[in-house]
């Protein structure tokens, strides 16, 4: 993206001022032309009215018909000239001889200008010409008695006055234009500041960058994301959401659609009403379980929309199984490593002190115990992963001074489906770990794991000599976050419950045991031997 050269405020002020200036320029041109035409027409109309008034005057008519009344024409036209504020009012006879003039010396002489012939022929007209005075706009009106034309009236208006009127009008327009430009600049500044405030002080290039980054992030995350506005209209759907919608049988791009018309099961409308977030809820759609989170979108303490993120529960469980399995394997290896390190220290000490006979007995005891233990586990548990895991748990138990016993009532074949092993590791590992931890303060620490396989069913019993578990506690231990051991706990049995649910099994608390706690777990389990026989 190219870097923006100018700030948003500079661009806004420039373009607003440009628009205002151009608008006022064209307006000035149009108004100036219109005003000029109006002033000219007004002056022409004024000259016509004055000339027609004088032409109707009996004083003028009598003066033209009776030479002895010539002086009355001059007095009358001078009064009209002053009253109408015109350059001159001249009365001429049919020979073009002046009967009145602003300069009395010009009376009796021929009219100057050469534009009087038309009016002497009985036609009223307007012209611009220069006579004995300055150039003027002239209005000619013929004078008639009862039977014929006896003369004419010429009223002149100074073009200088017309020009001054035009300049005054243009000056007013120019002042108005300058004021308009200043107002436009001030308005542009305030507009730029307001827009900048609305945009949180960001420049357009920064907004574009944020928009691109936001879209990239939204479409790159694996979780499906859908957002709605306060009217429950879908405003955003990322690629992962569209993929999930396709998997559950929904199609098309829902942006712009009503939420209830497309996802009636989303429950986002409830979040819009309550304004409260909802986390880790499960919804079933066309046989697919989605794990979803919902949250309101709040701006200035007002709910403007809501957003929901969701993911296929199967994918989440697969990831959790992998993480849990790796942790279980690591713990088992660590326990075995720690156990052997302690034994090596004992052996080293005996060698240094020269207790060779005792050393031989100690090594024979370890070897016999280890051979018997490994032989028993590997003989009865055919799945090497599960067998190795249980061997690790035996080491963990010894590390915690717990006497752990494995009792296989039948041989446990390797499961046909590999994911079953991971689920069993989650189930057995968490139940055993919880039992070991429960006995941490007990003097007698005993743990027994029984496995029995029969008719595609695997029965698992885990008993410990701990303080015991009450029935009312059993109903809560599978809730995420529930624990009697402090905060940030309570996930072990939650995972156990989910794994049992995945396998379609069941777990019970044996209330008949007199001491400690015993869990009875039964899950469907199809071994490879039976699979080969089917």
Query: What percentage of the chain carries pLDDT values higher than 70?
Result: 80
Do 138 and 236 reside in the same domain of the chain? no
DSSP letters of 125-193? EEEEEE-SSSEEEEEEEEEE-SSSEEEEEEEEEEHHHHHHHHHHHHHHHHHHHHHHHHHHHHHHHHHHH
Q: Answer yes or no: do 403 and 502 share one domain.
A: yes
Mean pLDDT of 412-427: 86
What are 317-344's pLDDT values in tens digits?
Answer: 555 555 555 555 565 566 556 666 666 7
User: Do 419 and 321 contact (CB within 8 A), yes or no?
Assistant: yes
Question: Residue 1: is its pLDDT beyond 50?
Answer: no
Place of tokens 């009532």: 409
> Does residue 192 lie within any of the structural domains?
no
**Residues whose CB is less than 8 angstroms from the CB of residue 127 and which lie 6 or more positions away in sequence, other chains included:** 113, 115, 137, 138, 140
Residues 406 and 504 in one domain: yes
CATH of the domain at 505: 3.30.565.10
Q: How confident is the model at residue 358 (pLDDT cuts 50, 70, 90)?
A: confident
Owning domain of residue 508: 355-533
The answer to whether the CB of 426 falls within 8 A of the CB of 495 is yes
Min mean pLDDT across 286-295, 355-364, 464-473 is at 355-364
Least confident of 81-85, 191-195, 205-209, 295-299: 205-209
Query: 22 and 152 in one domain?
Result: yes
Residue 136: strand pairing partners:
129, 158
In the beta sheet, which residues pair with residue 462? 449, 519
Residues 18, 135 within the same domain: yes
Count CB neighbours of 169 within 10 A. 17
Among candidate residues 290, 312, 334, the one where a domain is terminated: 312
Sign of CA dihedral 322, 327, 330, 331: negative
Whole-number mean pLDDT of the chain?
78
State whether 398 and 463 are in the same domain.
yes
Q: The sheet that has 278-285: what strands, in order across it?
A: 234-237, 224-229, 302-312, 288-299, 278-285
Which of 78-92, 175-189, 241-255, 307-321 shows the lowest per-residue confidence on average (mean pLDDT)? 307-321
Q: At what angle do helices 492-503 and 418-438 cross, to 10 degrees?
A: 150
Residue 189 backbone class (left: φ over 0; alpha: ψ -120 to 50; beta: rest): alpha
pLDDT over 90 (residue 88): no
Q: Are residues 405 and 294 in the same domain?
A: no
The span from the CA of 326 to the CA of 45, in Å, is 105
Q: Angle of helix 58-65 relative to helix 70-84, nearest 10 degrees?
A: 150
Question: How many Cα atoms occupy the beta-carbon half-sphere of 66 within 13 Å?
Answer: 9
| Dist. CA 47–CA 161, nearest whole Å | 13
- Please report which confidence band the pLDDT of residue 106 belongs to, taking 50, 70 and 90 as the band edges: confident
- For the entire predicted model, the pTM comes to 0.41
Q: Which pairing describes strands 278-285 and 302-312: parallel, antiparallel, or unpaired?
A: unpaired
Q: Does the residue 58 lie in any domain? A: yes
Buried b (16+ CB within 10 A) or exposed e, 399-410: ebebebebebee
Q: What H or E segment, with its residue span, contains residue 47?
A: helix 8-56
Is there a single domain that holds both residue 385 and residue 521? yes
Q: What is the pLDDT of residue 450?
A: 92
Q: Is 336 within the bounds of a domain?
A: no
Same domain, 387 and 517: yes
Q: How confident is residue 179, by pLDDT bands cut at 50, 70 and 90?
A: confident
Q: Which of 93, 65, 94, 61 is CA-nearest to residue 76?
A: 61
pLDDT at residue number 315? 64
Among the listed residues 298, 326, 519, 350, the one whose alpha carbon sits nearest the alpha carbon of residue 426:
326
In a domain, 287, yes or no: yes
Tokens of 398: 């010894």
Same domain, 361 and 305: no
Q: What is the predicted pLDDT for the residue at 531?
A: 42
Q: Tell me the average pLDDT across 353-359.
A: 73
Could you give the number of structural domains in the chain? 3
| CATH at residue 15 | 3.30.450.20
* Percent of the chain whose predicted confidence (pLDDT) is above 90: 5
Mean pLDDT value across residues 513-522? 87
Any domain includes 347? no
Measured torsion, CA atoms of residues 63, 69, 74, 79, in degrees rounded to the nearest 10: -90
Shared domain for 303 and 375, answered yes or no, is no
Candidates 383, 429, 427, 423; CA nearest to 503 is 423
Task: Confirm whether 174 is domain-assigned.
Answer: no
Whether the pLDDT of residue 4 is over 60: the answer is no
Determine, yes or no, domain membership for 96: yes
Tell whether 349 is covered by a domain.
Answer: no
- Domain finish residue from 284, 312, 340: 312
SS3 516: coil
Q: In what order do the strands lie in the sheet with 403-408?
A: 403-408, 446-454, 457-464, 517-524, 506-509
The residue ranking higher by pLDDT, 59 or 284, is 59
Cα(423)–Cα(504) distance, integer angstroms: 11
**Domain stop point among 164, 182, 212:** 164
Task: State whether 105 and 236 are in the same domain.
Answer: no
């Amino acid at each position: 993206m190219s870097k923006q050269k100018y700030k948003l405020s500079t661009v806004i002020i420039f373009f607003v001022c440009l628009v205002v200036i151009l608008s006022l320029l064209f307006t000035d041109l149009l108004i100036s032309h219109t005003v000029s035409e109006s002033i000219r027409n007004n002056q022409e109309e004024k000259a016509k009215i004055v000339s027609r008034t004088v032409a109707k005057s009996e004083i003028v008519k009598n003066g033209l018909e009776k030479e002895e009344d010539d002086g009355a024409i001059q007095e009358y036209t001078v009064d009209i000239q002053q009253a109408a504020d015109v350059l001159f009012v001249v009365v001429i006879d049919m020979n073009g001889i002046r009967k009145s003039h602003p300069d009395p010396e010009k009376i009796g002489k021929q009219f100057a200008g050469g534009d009087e012939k038309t009016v002497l022929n009985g036609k009223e007209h307007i012209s611009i010409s220069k006579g004995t005075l300055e150039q003027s706009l002239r209005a000619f009106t013929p004078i008639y008695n009862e039977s014929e034309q006896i003369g004419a009236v010429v009223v002149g208006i100074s073009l200088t006055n017309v020009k001054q009127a035009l300049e005054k009008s243009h000056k007013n327009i120019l002042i108005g234009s300058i004021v308009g430009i200043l107002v436009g600049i001030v308005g542009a500044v305030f507009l730029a500041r307001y827009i900048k405030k609305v945009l949180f002080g960001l420049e357009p290039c920064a907004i574009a960058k944020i928009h691109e980054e936001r879209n990239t992030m939204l479409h790159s995350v694996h979780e499906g994301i859908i957002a709605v506005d306060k009217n429950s209209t879908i405003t955003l759907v990322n690629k992962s959401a569209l993929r999930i919608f396709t998997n559950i049988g929904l199609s098309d791009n829902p942006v712009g659609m009503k939420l209830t018309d497309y996802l009636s099961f989303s429950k986002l409308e409830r979040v819009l009403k309550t304004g409260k977030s909802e986390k880790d809820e499960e919804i079933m759609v066309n046989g697919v379980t989605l794990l979803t989170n919902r949250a309101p979108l709040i701006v200035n303490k007002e709910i403007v929309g809501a957003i929901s993120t969701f993911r296929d529960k199967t994918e989440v469980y697969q990831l959790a199984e992998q993480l849990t399995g790796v942790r279980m394997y690591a713990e088992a290896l660590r326990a075995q490593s720690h156990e052997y390190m302690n034994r090596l220290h004992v052996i080293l000490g005996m060698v240094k002190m020269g207790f060779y006979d005792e050393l031989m007995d100690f090594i024979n005891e370890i070897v016999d115990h280890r051979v018997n233990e490994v032989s028993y586990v590997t003989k009865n548990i055919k799945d090497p992963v599960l067998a190795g895991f249980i061997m690790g748990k035996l080491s963990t138990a010894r590390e915690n001074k717990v006497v752990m016993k494995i009792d296989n009532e039948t041989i446990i074949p390797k499961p046909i489906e590999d994911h079953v092993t991971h689920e069993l590791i989650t189930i057995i590992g968490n139940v055993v770990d919880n039992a070991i931890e429960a006995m941490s303060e007990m003097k007698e620490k005993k743990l027994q794991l029984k496995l029995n396989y029969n008719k595609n069913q695997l029965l698992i019993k885990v008993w410990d000599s701990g303080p015991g578990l009450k029935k009312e506690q059993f109903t809560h231990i599978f809730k995420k976050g529930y624990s009697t051991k402090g905060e940030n706990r309570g996930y072990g049995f939650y995972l156990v419950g989910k794994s049992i649910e995945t396998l379609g099994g069941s777990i019970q608390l044996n209330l008949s045991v007199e001491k400690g706690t015993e869990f009875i777990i039964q899950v469907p389990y199809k071994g490879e031997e039976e699979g080969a026989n089917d």
